[in-house]
Each structure stands twice: as C-alpha cells, then as structure tokens.
A and B are shown apart, each in its own frame.
Chain A
Amino acid sequence: MATSVKRSNAANAVSTVSADELAGRTPPQTLDGALAGKFTGALVSSNSGSPGGGMSVKLRGITSINGNSQPLYIIDGVYIDNSSTSGAGLNAVSAAAGGGNASSQDNATNRIADINPEDIESISILKGASASAIYGSRSRGAAGVIIITTKRGKQGKTVVNFSQSNGWNEAINLQGQRNWTAALAESAFGEGAEFSAAEAAGKLFDYEKVLFGEKGFISNTNISMSGGNEKTTFFAGFTRNQEDGIVKRTGYDKSSIRLNLDHKFTDNIKLSLTTNYINSSADRGFFNNDNSGTTLGVALATGVRPWDDLFPDANGNYPDAPHGASNPLQTRDLMTNNERTVRFITGGTLNINLLRTDNQSLKFVARAGVDHYTFTAKVIFPKELQFMRPDQGGVNGLSAVTTTTNTNSNYSAFLVHNYTTNNDVSFTTQAGVTNEQFSRNIVSVIASDLIASETNVDQAANIKASQTRLEQEDFGFFVQEELNFQDKLIATIGVRGDKSTNNGDINELFYYPKGSLAVNLSNFAFWGSSDAVNRFKVRGAYGEAGTFAAFGSLFTIFGSTLNDNNVGIIVPIIRGNPNISPERQKEFEIGFDAGFLNDRISIEFTYYKKKVEDLLLEATIEPSTGFAREWVNAGELENRGFEIGVNIKAFESEDFSWNSNISWWTNTSEMTRLDVPTFNLGGFGNSLGQFQIEEGKSVTQIVGTTGPDTPVSVLGDAEPDFQMSFVNDLSYKDFTLSFLWHWKKGGDNINLTKLLSDFGGTSADFDDFDFDPNINNGTFRINNGLFAGNARPFVEDASYLRLREIGLFYTIPTETLNNWFDGTVSNVKLGFSGHNLINIFDYNSYDPEVSNFGGNGLSTGVEVTPFPSSKRYMFQLSVQF
C-alpha cells in the first residue's frame, strides 16, 4: 500500500490503463464505461443506455452471490463510494417490486460515474486476493481493487490544456415495427378501419422512433493547468460534460473541479493533497420492469399502435392512450426522474523519510481521505398524467424526494524500511494500520394527491417517509516483507488482520495471509543475452481476502406499517444472523511474462483459481417461517480462468508506427459446495428463466422449465465463453488512428422485452418464423413459450462484437504552430472519434449489455424494456499553451 513494485518485478498480472487508453481515443461518458475491453479478466457491462451511467464491473468472475461483487475503487488513497441508490417513488408508480419502496429495478446510477476520466493519469487493476490481499476486507479486496492515480503537476513551465469536443449520440439498434397493413391491423386487433383512416390522414407513426429516435447533443469542455517550482507543484482541472439522451428530456450534466497540490517541506518531507468537487445531474427517464403499464418501455411495448394518435393538442392536452394505462409521450414530457449529486473528495498523504543512509532507509507514510456526497433523487409524476388522474384510479399526482448523505473516511499510517546488502539483495519491510468509516443516511419522502402543480412533498394529502441509516467502522493492520535478490528473485510474504462492526463479534480479528514469488529468468547469467527471447519471467502469487457481511445482516428487525391510523410492526423479509462471519477468498495465480525480439513482441499469460469460502448467502428459508430469506455462511464457489495478452510493435519508423494489443480471457465458475438447498434469484420465475444457485453447477447458470410439467433444466449461462479485445494504434506522420474492437463470445441473457411487445401485438419480429416454421414468433413466444411454461425462447445468446472506440486525430506540426502563434501555442490536435459505432450481435433487442436489476450480484443480464443504448460520434479540438 505504501510501496510500489516495478512492473518487471511484479508477481501478479496487474493490468494498467493509461490516461491515453482511458480517454485519449474518444471521450467516455463515465469512468467505468471507459474500462470495457481495456484489460483482461473483467466483464464490464452497462445496465442501460440511460444518460449518467449505471454499470457493472466484475473482475475474474462472480466473487460473491449476495455480498458486494463490484471492485473497490481507490483514488489517490481515498476509498470511493460506488453504491447505487434509486429514487423512491419510481417503484410506487411502476409497482415493479411491490410495496412502494425503492427497488433494484429502478435503473439507478452507481456513484463511480461521478469521477472525471480526464483527470486520471493511470489505473491499476488488482483482480483478486493474490494481488489485493493487503487492502483487506471491507475493501472487497475479494472483488478486486481498482487503484486510480490522478494527474499531478510537474516542476517547470506552466502548461495549459484546453479541449473541446462536440458530437451526438443516437440509438444503436431500434427494433422497428411489424409490416402493418389494414389487413394485419384488422387480423391482429380488428382495427383495420382505424389503420386505414390514420393512413389516409398521414397519421401513422413509428412511436419507437418518436420516443427513441432523438439525436442527443454532446459537449465536453476540459481545461487543465499544471506546473510549479521545486518545492510546490500543482494540477488544476475543470471539466464540464453535457449530453442529451436519445429520449427527450433525458440527459446528463456534470461539472468537476480538481486541485492537486504537492509540497516538499524539505527533501525528506513531502505532502500531497488532492481535492475534487463534482456536481452532476442526470435525467434518467422512466424505464425497466413495471406492473402498471406506466414506464416508457412497457407502455411502448404493450399499449401503443401506429394508428393511435398520442400527440398533444395545441393547448398541450394529451389524449389518453387508447390501449394502455399511459400515454408514453405524455409521460416522457411531464414526468421527472432526476438524480443530482454534489460530491467532495479530498485526501492527503504525508511522506517522511526518517532515515536515509547508503544501504538503508526508513519512511513514514500517513494518509487520510474523505469522500462525502449528497445525492438527491427527485421523482415527479404530475396529476395531469393519464395514470395519475383519479378517474383512472390514479393518486392525483406523486412527488418523491430521496436524499442520501454519504461519508466515507479512511485513515492509515505505515512504516517502510528498506535495507540493501552489498551484493544487491534488498529487504523491504512494511507495517501499517488502517481505519475506515462509513456513514450513510437515506431519507425518502413520497407524497401523493398534490396541491395544484406544486411538487414540494408537504404540498400533498398523503405523505410517506422512510429512513435507512448505515454506520460501519473497520480496522485493520498488516505487515509485509519483500525480498529482492538482484532483480532475479522477488519474494513477498505478508499478513493482514481485519475487524469490522458488521461482524457477529465486532472485535474479532480475521487474518489474511499472502505470498508471492517472481523469477526473472532472463536476469540470470545462464540466460545470456538472447535477442530472440530477451525477457522471461515466471511468477506465482497466493493471497486471501475477505468480504464482510452487509450492514444490518446481524439483525432481525421489525419494519413499520400503518393500519387505520395505528402504527404497527411487521416482520422483515430477511432474517438476520447474529453469528454471520466474513466470506473468505483464496486466490492463486501463476503465469509468465516474455519479451521476444527485443520486446517487439511481448506476451503475458496468467492462470488463476480463486475460491470463495463461507459464502455470504441471502439464502431462501422456508417461507412458512414468516421470512423469505436469511443470512447464512453456507457454501463455496470457485472461479478459474486464463488471461493472455500479446503486444506487437508491428512497425516502428519515424513516419509510421503500428502497435497492436490482442487480449483474450475466459472465466469458468462452479458452486463447489452449497450447505443450503438449491435456490433461485434474479429473474421472474421458472417459466421465464431465472438464475439458480446449485451445488456442482456454474454459479451463473440460467434455468427454467421447458413445457408443462417439465423439470427445471439449464437453459443458459450468463458467463461468456471468452472475451477478446483487439487494439490498434497507428500513426503516420501527424495523423494517428486508434481503435478498439471488443468481442464477447457467449454469455446468455434473459430477454423479456419481446414477450411484452408480443402481448401488445407490436413486436417487430412478430410475423417472422425463427422458432417454428409454422408458428410466427409472437405466437410462439406467447403460446409455446410463456403459456406452455417454456422459458427457452427467453434465454438468448448475448454475444457481441463491437467497435468500442475509434479515434482519428491530426496534430498540427510544431513549425506551423510557431508560424501561426509565435510559440504561445505548443500543441494543437483535432479529430473525430466514436464510441460503439459498429455493433454486431444476434441478440433480439436494443443491446445485449443490459440489466433490469442493476449492476450488483448475479442478476445482471435480465432485460425488461430498458432505456435503449446509443452510439456516440464526437469531434474534438485540443490545444496546449
């Protein structure tokens, strides 16, 4: 934590992403979105195309079933919160999860999206316990750690960078319509006459295009300054991202200001400070599952026909949807689902060299960091909406505010001792303590029956408040010894101890050991100086890490309810477990790094096996107990996989260079032990497909029935067969071309969007014959699928091949610049770039990257009428002064 090992000596396959790789090709929408395809071992997937993000990042397979499976992000030593909170009120209207509370189906954003990619200098990804053990438990060391270093100032001339990029986004794969004719309208709905009338009036509409066919304008502005003298250096950056979504009244607007300062008190005492202020606002629309026919997606799929006229009159009055609970144009134009974040992240590191002699040094490092944000989700459904009107059974307007105040703080202190012998053997000893504190308070108020067009939650007849708090504190210490024998043998051994207020015994320490060895064979004398194989290292690492139980899992607590004005207490869905303990990951990895032809070709190969024991499971319990689930430590899973990276410097000359990176990776998981009965999660029952946790089977298997009275069988698996990425950087004179292809082969989704539009009679492929030569798709999915208890049609291959990023840039030659600007401008670059410009998939919907249930855990890849994904076209200009 306080030392770094140079890459050539590392015993782990640590992936890195540079500033150029992250944001240099094309400006990304969010930080996590910019990681997809850029390193091995990860499955990065977006939950929808909604502006503002919402992503899932899984490193080396699924590492926890009900615990956190998302990696920990650490930025300049500050532990960053990455939780997803959705606005209360959405579910009160959509009824997706019943009960009116916020649910995981509300298409929430996750908070790492706040971080500005333009500020980042480099990212290191520790994919499992063998590398991240030292980061301890809560750390979700188990799910991996993503270490982010932001840009810092350099001593010397003050440099100012300005860049502006503008462009647009548009839907990547609209589904289209049935080939409507009067005859088809008549046979499908008995509305041939309505069709003909609308046709004659020129009022046949493709409502999918009306809703999702916008081109959203994008503008990114970035200004940064850096410089300093020998004592003090600084980096200051300002970024403003604005973008409109492909649905009207959706969009994302983020401003981020960063100031990083480094000050040397003396040669031996250095202080580094980072501060980052972020203000963002996302208008997310209203999508995903519902049980009320009110989300834009469900309304479009189930209740809108091309001859329906849904447009407002001159006074802005919208007609009721003739076949649905809501008019999606009215919902789009009148409802609000806004998420606003105000965030402040600050941290400091103090480095003091206590001792420095020829052969030894002692350094003290102290760190502190705070990540504080206030997140306000505002949901407004005005009373004019069709489904809000009392004559339609509505509640006469609904307004909800959810305010989340979250503060994470972390403190640590280390001592690092280094001793080098005369024959170049060095020993690095470090010891340290860490303390992390987490505090969250979520207050939400849902108000209905609103006064006039007021939206404050007190301007209402009915008000429902709820509050959820979290207070957690973790403490840990670690010691580690590293031995480096002439850069030939590098061995590390260490142990970490952790405790947390989330455990059954809050002061019980859990210990996690680690050890690793790297052997640089090519540094030994016997290797000689071969050009053919100029570099060869074998490496192996073992480490353990824990994941603490979720806050509150120790307790079985009553919920509150109201009955005829009397407050009441009701048993919770989840039974707590006072004896819950952390789950423990044990990861072993082995591999080699080799360079050929003087590193013209280099290869990295890694095999890993990670086992998670004492799995924290929210296992189902017999519902006759009065509970639905209970927390238990009851099982074991294993992930195994390969990661291969090849770099080829194909061509390198003064005018032309070509550098290629090919990566290939795969992961296989298995529930090696399950101490509770097989159980299901994530999905909508066996007749539509769901995930099933079962001993001896893949953790991510998708099961379902295949007909009346058939047993449950395996229908698919969310885990891809493999992923591959192909990155090429070409430059010719002053032009550079860079592109990233990303291929995900295999991995299944549960796709229910088409089924819903089948019921609405509007699926684009309704009249095709893909399942059966005699039964059209729409009828098949309904009669031979759902009604026959056959989930097979809904489990679909979610493979894709996509041109994730492409950038073509021209740098104006320095001489020309000097002629034009007389030396005030040192660099001007302009070009074109794009994101997801080419997408090849068979998947029968907008995008195989989708998740109705958000980013955490197993349930990604279930699709119910999402916000469609988009591609981005950008034009850029950057100037350095």
Chain B
Amino acid sequence: MKITIKFKIIILTISFLAFTSCTLDGGESLNGASTSSISDDLSKGELPQAISGILSDMRFRLNTQVDVQSILGREYYYFTSSDPRFEGDVVTGNMDNQTFYTTQAWGSRYSAVKEINLALEGLTNTTSDFSAQEIAATRGVLNTLKAHQLLMVSNNQYTNGMRIDVSDPDNLGPFVSYDEALTAIASLLSEAATDLASANSLDLPTIFPLSSGYDDLRKIDPVTGEPLPITSADFLEFNKALTARVEAYRGNYSAVLAALGGSFMDMVGNLNKGVYHTFSLTGADLANPLFIALNQEANVRVAHSSFLIDAESGDLRTNKVVLRDTPREASGLVGTHDVWIYQSLVDNVPIIRNEELILLFAEANMVTNPTDAVNALNVIRNAAGLPDYAGALTPSALEDEMLKQRRYSLFGESHRWVDMRRFGRLSELPNDRPGDMVPSTIPIPFDENQ
C-alpha cells in the first residue's frame, strides 16, 4: 500500500496549497494609464502627451460635423451607399436625437473638453516645478482650445442650448441658452488671453509641442530667415482670431475689430495662413476623413448645384469642385461635381484662416465703415480673380456681398449654415425635393436626458 501513502501526501499538499493560496492579488488595469494620473498631478513628462491627445481628439468625427453642417448649408451632399441617412434624415431635416449625425460630433467635442478639463485640474494639482509663466501659458492654450471645442458644439446646437460646466461627470452643470453659451465661450477666451499675455512670450516647445498645424503662427527670425519657435504670444493671435469669430456671432462688431487687431489677420498676406488640424497615415494617427478621390461611386461628396449656378463668372474658387465623369444620383438628389477641397489623405483641415478674418473685418465694418468693408471684400474678390465690388454701399447690399464671399471663400468649412442662420436667412437655402427642409438646430442627444 505504499502508493496509497504517496497519494495521501499528495492530498495533504494539495489541500494545504488550496487553502493557503486563497488570497488573490492582481486586479490591475494593464491596458493604459488611469485618467486620474493626469488630473491628480500633471507632471512635466505627461503634459506633452495630454496636449497631443487633445489636439488629436479635436479631429475625431470632424467629418460628421463638417458633413452635416455642409449638407444643412446646402453646400454639398454626401452620398454613401452603406448609410443612406446622409441623403435622408439630414437633408429632410428630420433628424433623430440618437443617430450618429446627432451624437458623434457632440460626444467627440465633449471628449476633447474632458481631456482639457483633466489637464487643467492636473495643472492645479501639479507638484512638478512648473514656473508661473509655464502654468499661465499652458492654461491659456488649454482654455483657448476648450473655447474652440465648445464653440463647435454651440454652432450645432444653437437655441437648443448646451452645457458649459462639464468637469464633474457626476454633477454636470445646467444647459444654458445660445447667448449664455457664447458669453461663456467669449469669457473663456478672454481669460485665456490674459494668461497667454502674462506668459511673456514663452517658447511653448520648451513645455509641450504643438502640431505643425500651428506653424503659420511662428514668427520669422529677421536674421536667419528661419521660423522661430512658437510662443505664447503667437498663440495669443490664434486666441484673438477665435475671439473675433465668437464676437461676430454675438453681433459685437466693435469687439470683433478689437480682437482682429490682436489676431494674425493680414490684409496682404496669404489667405490660407491659419491654424489647422493635421493628418497622417502613420501609426495611430488619423487620415483626413474629408478626402474622397474624384469620380467615386459608393461614397461621394458632390457640390450642391447652386454653388456653380450662383458663382460669378471667373471666380477661381469654383475650382473647389470638379466636374464628374458621370453625375451621381441618390434618392432624387443629383451631383455633377465632386467636392475637391482636400486632395489627399494627409491634407490639413483649417480651424481658422486669414481669409475668414478678413471677411470678419468686412462684416464688422459694413454698417459703420462701408469703405473699409469694401476694401476688405475686394482683397477677397481680387484673390479669387474677380474685379472690385461695384454694388451699392448700403448695409443690406454689403451683407449680401459679404455672405456671398464667405460662401465661396469658406466653402465646405462649416460656415454657410451658421452664417445664414445668423442673418435669419435659412429659408433662402434651396430644397431640391418636396420633403426637404433646413433645420436651424441639431437635436440634443437623447442621452443628455433633457
């Protein structure tokens, strides 16, 4: 019975192991850094990653946001064979509060806001040896970006309202009206401006990198002719550009002019000078989601027919669309021209550019100073190959002209719908089918429980 004894030893061993090994350890997350690692104490090493994450996330679902606004502004149609709702719900204005065209842009912008809030919290709690200037510059940059993201939400939501205070997920702030939202965004920008100004032209790359989409803001070294590192003062010019846009939306034209003065507006400079989202095909980077090759069939962005019909002859900006080999039809809508703003998967997408600033300058002056307004409009017209403006100088004539120039200069950049709404002209936008309609707002997502 020797073997029985051996087995008894085995049993005792197993039993002993079983009852002693009953304390578990482990339970780690394994697959990423906790969000509290940023908000509890933002370190110098983490700051660049937090900023890059924000710049990256600002691009998520950018296509949904731009496509929906461009369809609503009747700039172009987006036909996709596998999701017909771009030619359905969005064009008929019968938009559901749970479908991607409503929820994605909202969710993505607030994700970026969350990242900014975590970084701001971390900046308050940091134990790293950031200087006061570094803190101020970082805060200024973060709040400027936050203001931009909130502005993107308010553009969609308009009078439906939105939340501004979202820092505590368990205790969200209230929905505020459109006016209150714009006021909050404007004051965020002004706080940020104060911070950026107090940072004393700090070289931002010493604390975090910005993407090459911000390179246009860099000054040129007068001696070497090389671009200098981007500074907090350079970034302030972006902040002021956004401020000008927000103030125009609020109808504060004197504030627009003041802000433009501090911005990178350049009447004689490149109209494309500005701040951009960048894209690449490298690793986890994103490809430009607004690029589609010419003459596709399944997925196409085709210009609304009125874009060419309404254009002045000789307007070079009509090269933003290209005649298709064959028209693309979808459910009674027809496109003869492909939208051709972005020509590769790595093209940048503008956040704000000089061309818009000049147009904002014209808009702010059209009542009080028509001559300045016309001069600015002529800069735009001439650049587009058109002769000087020869129409009346009445505010209403200038408004028509300004809106027209904005339509062609900022085609496909999410402005037309917002502009027509600002001036109470949504009813002028064309509807090609009997049931089509342009709504003034996008629904609040169902999950906000409003």
Contact = CB atoms under 8 A, between A and B. Distances in A.
Interface of A: 98, 265-266, 268-269, 289-294, 298-299, 302-303, 321-326, 350, 352, 354, 364, 366, 391-395, 411, 413, 433, 435, 448-449, 461-473, 475, 477, 499-503, 506-507, 552, 554-572, 575, 620-628, 630, 677, 679-680, 684-687, 690, 705, 708-709, 755-756, 759-760, 782-783, 786-789
Contacts of A575: 169
Contacts of B449: 622, 677
Interface in B291-314: 291-293, 296-299
Given A393-B293, A462-B283, A500-B24, A569 B33 contact: yes
Given A298-B82, A468-B31, A566-B52, A786 B7 contact: no
Nearest to A320: B297
Contacts of A709: 94
A265 B435 CA distance: 84
B212 A680 contact: no
A507 B36 CA distance: 24
B172 A624 contact: yes
Contact of B24 (A323, A467, A501, A558): A501
28 contacts: A266-B1, A324-B81, A392-B293, A461-B281, A462-B282, A473-B24, A555-B34, A556-B36, A557-B31, A560-B284, A561-B56, A564-B52, A564-B209, A569-B49, A569-B53, A570-B53, A570-B57, A575-B169, A624-B106, A624-B113, A625-B172, A626-B114, A686-B96, A687-B96, A709-B94, A782-B331, A787-B88, A789-B94
Contacts of B350: none
Given A293-B82, A568-B51, A708-B94, A563 B211 contact: yes
Given A555-B34, A623-B448, A759-B84, A568 B106 contact: no
B81 A303 contact: yes
A473 B281 contact: no
A330 B308 CA distance: 37
Given A324-B297, A448-B281, A626-B111, A571 B169 contact: no
Bin the interface of chain B by size.
35 or more
Given A568-B49, A789-B94, 8 more contacts: A350-B7, A507-B24, A556-B34, A564-B211, A569-B49, A622-B172, A626-B113, A789-B96
Contact of B29 (A299, A463, A557): A557
B67 interface: no
B115 A570 contact: yes
A686 B27 contact: no
B397 interface: no
B35 A558 contact: yes
Contact of B297 (A322, A686, A690): A322
A477 B281 CA distance: 52
Contacts of B287: 395
Contacts of B166: 624-626
A302 B298 contact: yes
Contacts of B172: 622, 624-625
A557 to B, nearest CB: 3
Closest 5 CB pairs of A and B: A626-B114, A293-B298, A568-B52, A568-B53, A325-B298
Interface stretch (B10-18, B234-242, B378-386, B407-415): B10-18
A299 B52 CA distance: 37
Contacts of A566: 48-49, 52, 55, 209, 211
Given A392-B296, A782-B331, A685 B98 contact: yes
A402 to B, nearest CB: 15
A458 to B, nearest CB: 13
Contact of A621 (B96, B169, B331, B345): B169
Contacts of B445: 623
A468 B292 CA distance: 32
Nearest to A389: B293
Interface string B255-284: 000000000000000000000001011111
Given A323-B297, A470-B30, A759 B81 contact: yes
A557 B26 contact: no
Contacts of A465: 283
Contacts of A475: 21-22, 24
A782 B293 CA distance: 27
A324 B32 contact: no
Given A469-B30, A560-B32, A435 B21 contact: yes
B49 A686 contact: no
Nearest to A755: B84
A605 B83 CA distance: 48
A571 B115 contact: yes
Contacts, number: 311
Nearest to A295: B82
A567 B49 contact: yes
Contacts of B11: 352, 354, 364, 366
A787 B92 contact: yes
**Majority secondary structure of chain A interface residues (helix, strand, loop or mixed):** mixed
Contacts of A391: 293
Contacts of B35: 556-558, 571-572
Contacts of A552: 29-31
Contacts of A563: 52-53, 55-56, 59, 211, 278, 285
Contacts of B52: 561-564, 566-569
A187 B4 CA distance: 88
B169 A325 contact: no
A719 B287 CA distance: 42
B230 interface: no
B323 interface: no
A294 B285 CA distance: 22
Contacts of A471: 26, 28, 30
Contact of B14 (A366, A468, A472, A499): A366
Interface in B98-157: 98-100, 103, 106-107, 110-111, 113-115, 117-118
B217 interface: no
B447 A293 contact: no
B184 interface: no
A293 B284 contact: no
A557 B448 contact: no
Interface in B72-99: 80-85, 88-89, 92, 94, 96, 98-99
Contact of A623 (B211, B280, B283, B447): B447
Nearest to A462: B281
B28 A293 contact: no
A290 B81 CA distance: 9
Nearest to B153: A624
Contacts of A686: 96, 98-99
Contacts of B284: 464, 466, 560-562
B25 interface: yes
B224 interface: no
B420 interface: no
B393 interface: no
B229 interface: no
Contacts of A622: 169, 172, 447-449
Contact of B32 (A507, A559, A783): A559
B292 A687 contact: no
Contacts of A565: 280, 282, 285
Interface string B189-214: 00000000000000000000101110
B33 A326 contact: no
A303 B82 CA distance: 10
A353 B292 CA distance: 74
B362 interface: no
B297 A557 contact: no
Contacts of A265: 3, 7
Contacts of A559: 32
Given A391-B293, A628-B107, A685 B100 contact: yes
Contact of B110 (A463, A557, A623): A623
B54 interface: yes
Contacts of B282: 462, 562, 565
B447 A558 contact: no
Contacts of A507: 23-24
